[in-house]
A = this chain, B = another copy of it.
């Protein structure tokens, strides 16, 4: 019945390297629904026997599927099709907190604190926050989860002058700032893509090398003072950020022509 791993149809030179043929077979089986989330694959040694390939080649074929989060491997247990992660869509042009954003969706939010305290700033923080000599920085580092699924790593730095008591933050940073009349009204974000390192991948429960969104944010008070400098890592397979664009201001085409000239 399960001819997914039959030795037939594995011919070198036919359609590229053997490990890619295997990769394609499994990827198609997942895409077509033949392999469903939670299904287990045969043990690597078993696949090797069935396909007539070596175990090294089997692992190489599986590797990319693990790296892209489609398969999950558990030592001592087995290889499984990854559970489907519901994609969340988040508006980028509004300044909201994670807590508020999730509450609006009616979802549970959990935080796992990695670090919460006052420290000596690193140069990056001095720059972003505009700190003076001797100023200390409040650092909040946590993994954000929703319904038990880790979605993001958030590393926030604030001037100690703004948040002298980081331990006071239990859930929502913005909630506390808001209660103190320090809610940011403007922020600038930079978004890029990155491959997760072993550490961050582990925190998010995905494989090393999985694509993630890196978002750096600097938030400002009405007065122009910097409130926070946050570096976040969002799971690429769990998030869509949405943004609405307006027509570029200025006299459209002629502007580009002038500047290009």
What separation, in Å, do the CA atoms of A38 and B247 have in the docked complex? 41
A74 within 8 A of B: no
- A68-B195, A208-B64, A246-B95 given as contacts; is B252 within 8 A of A178 (CB)? yes
Copies of this chain assembled into the complex: 2
A94 within 8 A of B: yes
Q: Is A242 a contact partner of B189 (Cβ separation < 8 A)?
A: yes
What separation, in Å, do the CA atoms of A251 and B96 have in the docked complex? 8
A255 within 8 A of B: yes
CB neighbors of B among A227-261 (8 A): 234, 236-237, 239-249, 251-261
Q: Is B209 a contact partner of A68 (Cβ separation < 8 A)?
A: yes
> In the complex, which residues of chain B have a beta carbon less than 8 angstroms from the beta carbon of A198?
20
Q: Is A252 a contact partner of B100 (Cβ separation < 8 A)?
A: yes
What separation, in Å, do the CA atoms of A188 and B240 have in the docked complex? 12
> In the complex, which residues of chain B have a beta carbon less than 8 angstroms from the beta carbon of A92?
92, 191, 243, 245
Q: Name the segment of A115-123, A124-132, A179-187 touching the other chain.
A: A179-187
What separation, in Å, do the CA atoms of A64 and B178 have in the docked complex? 43
Q: Is A192 a contact partner of B213 (Cβ separation < 8 A)?
A: yes
* Min CB–CB distance A223 → chain B (angstroms): 11
